[in-house]
Copies of this chain bind each other. A is one copy, B any other.
Amino acid sequence: MRTPVAVLGASGYTGAELLRLLLDHPRVEIAALAAERSAGARIAQVFPQLAGRLDREVESLDTEAIAARAEVVFSCLPHGASAAAVAALVERGKLVVDLSADFRLRDAGEFATWYGPHPHPQLLARAVYGLPELYREQLRGARLIASPGCYPTATILAAAPLLARGLLRPRLVVDAKSGVTGAGRAASLGTHFSEIGEGVRAYKVAGTHRHTPEMEQELTLVAGGAVRVTFTPHLIPMARGILACVYGEPTDPALGEADYRSVLIDAYRGEPFVVVLDDALPDTAHVRGSNRAHLAVRLDTRAGVVVAMAAIDNLVKGASGQAIQAMNIALGWPEADGLSGVALFP
């Protein structure tokens, strides 16, 4: 008997990616799809890759109707809109995995600074940050999971173990490169093939990207003291993938590159989806379509800088795959259920 799940905001890329993964998940069945703009359409009209594989109508969002049919709900709604639906579904006792930003920041004031007033601040304390490598225990039995942002996932995986051991000074430069799906499915000049193919550019430079406070919140918690991040995201001509390079100053000049690598290896021993590379360097092409993170660390001995790198698929480990991983943990299922797929390379 499979557990019925629903996807809200099913017409975007994280929605489609949830469907791709959930269709091969051995313990769930897709019970409902909601998306305002596509309401009334068959899902295969919205996403032709599902033709012959999933034949279901997209519904207008009605949390009561959803609650009546699903036990687990993934919300890919935009921030703000998501909080309202999440609140209604949590109240009805559903397991809700929220892929929006609405429950990622623990502090309502900080949320307000970046997004405006929080519509349901009382729920913030109930949300568990859905990064299993840091919060596996808290996720067990959780009912409201705030699935992390794509950039924070890559950044935190690379930097957290080093900060947790006090090996880096608490000021980091994070230079990250993302595929275009990170910008969503809405058509705009900024996602037009002809505008962004064959080029690279930074955007929201110098601490203006909303993922900055999320990184700082989590890294501050692991470091046990305030961490500041200068974050520069880039848009590069590929659909999927994030590569984050984290630059930090060592606190202990006696350590060598192998020491930093050992710290990462120790930190992620037994983790099903994190690989610490040795000779090779992370390449987003090697994780595309998979829930894996490839990490590496290098020490610039000339300049005295540690460079920690992480490659993920922004739609999988950076969004939908990680959301399913968190669900698996919350429900006590095998953590890799539905997530065993090898990256599609090339």
A interface residues (Cβ-Cβ under 8 A, vs B) = 13, 16, 19-20, 23-24, 45, 47-54, 171, 173, 175, 177, 179-181, 185, 187-189, 191-203, 205-207, 212, 228-230, 232, 234, 236-241, 243, 245, 247, 257, 275, 277, 280-290, 292, 294, 298-305, 307, 309, 311, 340-346
Contacts and interface: CB of A to CB of B under 8 A. Distances in A.
Given A177-B236, A192-B193, A230 B307 contact: yes
Nearest to A175: B175
A-B interface, 7 closest residue pairs, ranked by CB to CB distance from nearest: A199-B285, A201-B283, A206-B298, A206-B300, A175-B175, A49-B343, A194-B346
A287 B48 CA distance: 9
A177 B234 contact: yes
The number of times this chain is found in the oligomer is: 4
B185 A300 contact: no
Contact of A195 (B234, B281, B346): B346
Contacts of A281: 201-203, 205
Contacts of A229: 303
A128 B71 CA distance: 48
Contact of A230 (B193, B203, B305, B342): B305
A341 B50 CA distance: 10
A319 B212 CA distance: 36
Nearest to A47: B345
B207 A300 contact: yes
A200 B49 contact: no
A49 B342 contact: yes
A180 B236 CA distance: 13
Contact of A243 (B48, B173, B188, B201): B201
A24 B26 CA distance: 12
Contact of A188 (B54, B187, B206, B207): B187
A139 B284 CA distance: 39
Contacts of A13: 194, 346
B247 A173 contact: yes
A49 B47 CA distance: 27
B206 A307 contact: yes
B240 A198 contact: yes
A197 to B, nearest CB: 6
B180 A193 contact: yes
Given A13-B194, A207-B300, A228-B302, A288 B199 contact: yes
A151 to B, nearest CB: 14
